[in-house]
Amino acid sequence: MIVAVVQIALPRRSREAAIAAAEKTAPTYSGLADKGLLRKYYLNGDAGGGGVYFWSSLAAAKAWYTAEWYARMTAQFGARPTVTYYENYVVVDNESGEVRVERD
């Protein structure tokens, strides 16, 4: 699994504004299930906004974060996002009581 952390230098939003923005764009990300997006967490904090995305592969992630995506996000938010990719092999899931390991 690939974890992509997207950060955008934005002022902190109110809780209500952050939820409203997330609800507006959530259908876009729901529609990416067949393109390899497993999960997305929206971020809002003093360091800015963005998201943590869980992708099935690096290729799937990079297919989403294209030059067009960067241009669209920069135009929308007035700041160019940064995307950092991480490989993930082990997940501790306390909600399900599982530890999952990807060995291949």
pLDDT tens digits along 75-88: 999 999 999 999 99
Average pLDDT over residues 22-47: 97
The pLDDT value recorded for residue 104 is 79
The pLDDT value recorded for residue 28 is 96
Q: Which two tokens mark 65?
A: 């974060």
The pLDDT value recorded for residue 57 is 97
Q: How confident is the model at residue 46 (pLDDT cuts 50, 70, 90)?
A: very high
* Exposure class string for 17-35: b at 16+ Cβ within 10 A, else e: ebeeebeeeeeebeebeee
pLDDT at 45 over 90: yes
pLDDT at 51 over 90: yes
Average pLDDT over residues 29-38: 97
